[in-house]
Each structure stands twice: as C-alpha cells, then as structure tokens.
A and B are shown apart, each in its own frame.
Chain A
Amino acid sequence: MSSAENERIAANVAQWTRTNAEFTDRDAERQWRDPQVYWGEFGTRDEWLGDVAGLGVVELGAGTAYFSAKLARAGARPIAVDPTPAQLETARRMQRETGLHFPLVEAPAESVPLPDASFDLVISEYGASLWADPERWLPEAARLLRPDGRLFFLTMSTLAHLCTPDEDNQPIVNRLVRPQFGPWETRWEGYDGAEFHLSHGDWIRLLRANGFVIDALHELQAPADATTHEYYLVIPADWARRWPGEDLWECRKT
C-alpha cells in the first residue's frame, strides 16, 4: 500500500473510532437484536438479497458487524472485515451477548486477507463503498467472489453528494453545490475521514472493468413515515422522499 493510502486508512480508522464512541457502539445492541435486514438510514426493508441461507458472505467495512449479524441470523456464513479495532471490539461484545459468532477480520477493504473465489456474496453497506478507494476495493470484491457471486453495496447517492455543503454534518440542500466532474476522494472540514464519491457512469465503468454485470441500481426513497436519522444528520428525511439520498448497487460477477 502507498503511504497516501496508509494515511487515508489511518484517518478513517481515527474517524470511526470516534464515531464508534459517539454512536455506533451504543447503537450496536439495537441493530444486532433486530433480525430485519434494512438498507440505509431510513430503514428501507431489503427485498433484493433473497434467501441467504448457506451463502458464504464477506462484508467489507462492516463496522460493528450488525449487517453480518442479521445475515447470520438468516442462515448465512458471514465474515466481517473492518479496519477499525474499536468497532470490531464492539462487534465482539455483541457476539458474546447474542451468541451469534462469525469471523471478524481487521483489515481495510483495499487489501483483504481472505482467499480468492471463495464467497457467494459481498456486501458493503456504508462501508468500503464510501470510505475505501473503489479502484482498490472493487478488485478485491471481484477476487473474493465465485463466478456468478453477487455484490451489493449501498452508498450516499451521487445527487446527495452534489448537494452537500462543505461543513461536516450539515444537511444537504436543494441545490447543486459542488461539481460532478472532479476527484472522487473528498475530505470535509471538521471530519478526519476520507470519502469516495463517484458518478453513476464512473461506478458502471469500474464495475464493468472488474468483471461485474450490473443487475440494478436501487435509488432508495425514504418511506413516508421515515424520520431523519438521530446521528447521521446529512440527509434529511423530507429531502430523501423527493430525491434519492442513497444508492444501492446490485451486481454479479461474470
């Protein structure tokens, strides 16, 4: 890994150590105990994964591994990968409390110490999808999957990114405030981590270059009764009812 990449991963680990102390540690209990699989901040119920029983799953950027826990409850065999020790510590505590045990691997999605062509499903729900370099983690996802294996990843929508003010955790606006043509890597004032925001065209190009077929782009709409997330304030629910705040890509390895 390059020194720039090491620095960026370290910055994201520092940011997520802080976020874990502020929010994800205390939120883990609720998430781990709720068997329902949701996508994103507005509680969109999954209707795309299908039956995951028996599937070998890797979650890239798993955080406190609640998504993997839900899949484990549904009979999958997940391995949760994340670079932030504090979040994996929370995941371990939840494993002890719930008895739901599966492997936790401390690694960035840019370099995953797991074997080639060994998994049926790769998931990233606001994980590698937003905080890892897509030119590094998509090849890793492709490498890990068996032929016909599926990749699902959720990230902030391109449109929401274009409407995001510079200041950290400020709500997005009904206006394009940053160009789409520009670098993917984004740093925010008052936020240590580095994010990657791609246009849909760029995602399609990278996915195709890594041997993926694009089965769907689910542009998520906040349900009528959804409220703005208690901690992640960037996408207000009323915005996400009019425009997609989150994109869920559904792909298949050829």
Chain B
Amino acid sequence: MQEDVDTIAANIADWTQANAEHTDASAEKAWAHPGILWGVFAIPEEQVGALPGSVDGLDVVELGCGTAYFGSWLQRRGARVTGVDPTPAQLATARRMMAKTGIEFPLVEAPGEAVPLPDAAYDLAVSEYGASLWADPYRWIPEAARLLRAGGLLVFLVNSTLVYLCAPDGEGVVGQELQREQFGMYRIRWDGAIGVEYHLAHGDWIELLHENGLEVEALHELRPQPGAVDPAYYDFVTVEWAEKWPAEEIWVARKT
C-alpha cells in the first residue's frame, strides 16, 4: 500500500503545482463555458455523443474532478453531481467557483482509488482526464463499478494508446516514431514529471472493464474539429498530428 500512497501523494503535489500554474486561473472560463467539451482540442459533446442524451435527474460522480468544471456543466443540466478529487488546492478552486456561480454540489477529498461514497448510488460515473489518467486503473475501475447502479454508465477520457507509444521522453510533442513498447504499458512517470500516469492498452482496458461487470459500449477516438488550434498549456500534441491519429479517446461502458 505504501506504493499507492506515494503515487497518490506525487499526483497531489503535481496537481497542486498545475493548479497554481494553470487550472486555478482557467477555472472561471471553464465553468462559464455553455457547452460540454472534451479534451485538449475542446471537442463539443454534440459531436461525440459519449454522454447520455439527457443527464437531467441523474446521480453523477466525477472521479478526479480537479476544479470540477466538468461536473458543473452536468449540474447545470439537471444532474446531481458529486465531485471527487484528492488535491485540496483544486477543490479550493472549485469551492471558490461555486460561491461565485451559485452552482453548488458536494465535493469530496479522496483519490479515485478509494472513494468514501456508497455502493450502487450513481447513474453516471465520469472521469475527464482525472482518475482515468492519474489513478491506478486496477483500483479506480472497481471503485467506479461499485459506485454505479445496475445499468449505470461509466464514461472516461484518456490519452490514446498511440500518444503513449509516440510521446518523447521529457520535453517535446508526440511524433510518429514508436518510442516505447506496448506490451507491459501500465504506469509511467515521464522524465521531469512529479506525478505518475497510468496508461493501458485497449485490450487491457476491455479486460479490466469486463472483469468489473462493465460492458464496453463505445471507444470514441477523438479527432479535432476543423479550425482547432494547438493546445496552449497541455502542449503534448499538435493539431496536425491529431488530425491523422487519435490523441484522445473516450471509453463508454455500462454496468450490467
């Protein structure tokens, strides 16, 4: 368990820094956005169709909510959201935004690996670059499955497997060379990074979801909209690359 605690602590340190650098300052704009957007190229949900057509009245848990902008979009659409994140600094930003906007919902300080919320109490579990990338999938997927009601939906966004394979060590953008093997991919700390990321191959995601009673409904391999621009802060990939290969992907799975 020591290892888990260390990786969770490392990711809290990483996101405390990222919040000071970026997510605190960008929270106001993110919370104010009228649409639901996916990923670093801000792809509208209407183009993707990953979420239920209506979230009105759904009990939603967001795992790794950060400053909870994604949860706020769902709350505004009638969902009853609970945001879960292990980083106090980001939750403080979320609370400030709640006070400012009047959009209020519970925030819980916890990692995706161990969520202090009841079994079978949610219709939708979402993770948009949250637990999906920074929590151990062999611990957070069972937690998501536990939290969902039968028939509930899990929707999560991650970097694509191709991005993992083609990302340079250290600085620089994703290229075309395969930089590392696929077999054995799981946990990685990039050169110079504080935090630890988790990346699984598609076959491993499917196996893990299946073992936890989650039936795969879709894998949306995202492509930027025409006119998309290179990401400013999360600058690991260019539009030019992402036009050819999926940089980000959304898994959709239903609890049976």
* A binding-site residues for B, Cβ under 8 Å: 159, 162-163, 174-177, 179-181, 199-202, 204-205, 208, 213-219, 221, 241-244, 247
* B178 and A174 within 8 A (CB): yes
Tell me what chain B mostly uses at the interface: helix, strand, loop, or mixed. Answer: mixed
**Is B244 located at the chain interface by the 8 A CB criterion?**
yes
Are B219 and A201 in contact (CB-based, < 8 A)?
Answer: yes
Q: Report the bound CA distance from A181 to B202 in whole Å.
A: 17
B207 x A181 contact (CB < 8 A): no
* Count of A-B residue pairs with CB < 8 Å: 86
In the complex, the answer to whether B218 meets A205 with C-beta atoms within 8 Å is: yes
Complex-state Cα separation, A187 to B218, whole angstroms: 28
- The residues in B between 218 and 239 inclusive whose CB is less than 8 angstroms from any CB of A are 218-221, 223
Question: Can you list 14 residue pairs at the A/B interface with Cβ under 8 Å?
Answer: A162-B245, A176-B245, A177-B176, A181-B223, A181-B244, A199-B221, A201-B246, A205-B218, A214-B210, A217-B202, A217-B207, A218-B203, A243-B178, A244-B182
Interface residues in B, total, Cβ within 8 A = 29
B183 touches A242 (CB 8 A): yes
B residues whose Cβ falls under 8 Å from a Cβ of A: 161-162, 165-166, 176-178, 181-183, 201-203, 206-207, 210, 215-221, 223, 243-246, 249
B181, A243: Cβ atoms closer than 8 Å:
yes
Contact among B166, B181, B245 for A242, CB-based, below 8 A: B181
Q: For A205, A217, A244, which residue has the most chain B Cβ atoms within 10 angstroms? A: A217
Q: Is the CB of B166 within 8 A of A176?
A: yes
CB distance from A210 to the nearest CB of B (A): 14
Name the one of A201, A208, A218, A242 contacting B182, with C-beta atoms under 8 angstroms: A242
CB-based contact B210/A201 at 8 Å: no
Chain A residues, Cβ within 8 Å of B176: 175-177
A215 engages B245 (CB within 8 Å): no
Q: A180-B246, A214-B216 are in contact. Are A219 and B202 (CB under 8 A)?
A: yes
Considering the complex, give the chain A residue whose CB is closest to the CB of B178: A174
* CB–CB A216/B203 < 8 A: yes
Q: Which residues of A contact B243 (CB under 8 A)?
A: 179, 181
Expressed in whole angstroms, the Cα–Cα distance for A136 and B161 within the complex equals 28
How far is it, in angstroms, between the C-alpha of A179 and the C-alpha of B243 when the chains are bound?
8
Q: Which residues of B contact A176 (CB under 8 A)?
A: 162, 166, 176, 178, 244-245
B174 to chain A, nearest CB (A): 10
Give the complex CA separation of A163 and B162 in angstroms.
12
Minimum C-beta distance from A133 to chain B (A): 21
Q: Which residues of B contact A179 (CB under 8 A)?
A: 243-245
The answer to whether A163 and B245 touch across the interface, beta carbons within 8 angstroms, is no
Nearest-neighbour CB distance to chain B for A96, whole angstroms, equals 40
Given contacts A162-B245, A217-B203, 16 further A-B contacts (CB under 8 A): A159-B182, A175-B176, A179-B243, A180-B221, A199-B221, A200-B221, A208-B217, A214-B210, A216-B206, A216-B207, A216-B210, A219-B201, A221-B183, A242-B183, A244-B182, A244-B183
Residues of B near A247 (CB, < 8 A) are 203
Min distance, Cβ B123 to any Cβ of chain A, angstroms = 20
- 9 smallest CB-CB distances across A and B, nearest first, come from A179-B244, A219-B203, A201-B219, A201-B221, A217-B203, A242-B181, A176-B176, A174-B178, A243-B182
How far is A215 from B216 in the complex, measured between Cα atoms in Å? 8
Of B177, B183, B210, which contacts A243 at CB under 8 A?
A: B183
Q: Are A215 and B177 in contact (CB under 8 A)?
A: no
Closest to A178 in B: B244
Complex Cα gap A177–B202 (Å):
21
Task: Give Cα distance in the complex from A163 to B182, angstroms.
Answer: 14
What residues of chain A lie closer than 8 Å to B165, measured between beta carbons? 159, 243
A175 touches which of B178, B210, B219, B221 (Cβ 8 Å): B178
Q: How far is the CB of B163 from chain A (nearest CB, A)?
A: 11
Across the interface, which residues of B come within 8 angstroms of A159, CB to CB? Answer: 161-162, 165, 182
